[in-house]
Structure 1
């Protein structure tokens, strides 16, 4: 399955400044693996040392928060939009 992944500004150094990149996979885990193959280093910014989604990184498939849709096993249908959104702190 081919999806379009929206890359936040802070991670665009891994994609050569590109804001949206294609990736392959039928689950979020496969999509992240595809991203890592084409943009080395990006997975370490999305996943923690145990291979789970980082606590302060939100990921959506279309409009659905993957934390409520199976996490890394969330389905990524063909043509879906995947958004990586780092949490922002401040006051």
Structure 2
């Protein structure tokens, strides 16, 4: 597209930008975010399922435990990447 001076400003509607393939990590993080948001929004309706069979509840408990263990493992493994100024301050206080 040309601006008022007749110069090309680089904007074109004919050729969209190339699509950059997403990595497995990016796909996982998007899926994780969507899943946890959905689970958060469905937590109250799910809590009304008091007639759930014990087998279903036990299976859900086992799956949540596996997921918690996975998150604990990832937080331990990538602890340095998860630090913020707030967590660094709290860690300094704990060392004193």
Query: Comparing both chains, which one has the higher relative contact order based on Cα–Cα distances under 8 Å and sequence gaps of 6 or more?
Result: 1
Bigger-Rg structure (1/2): 2
- Give yes or no for TM over 0.5: no
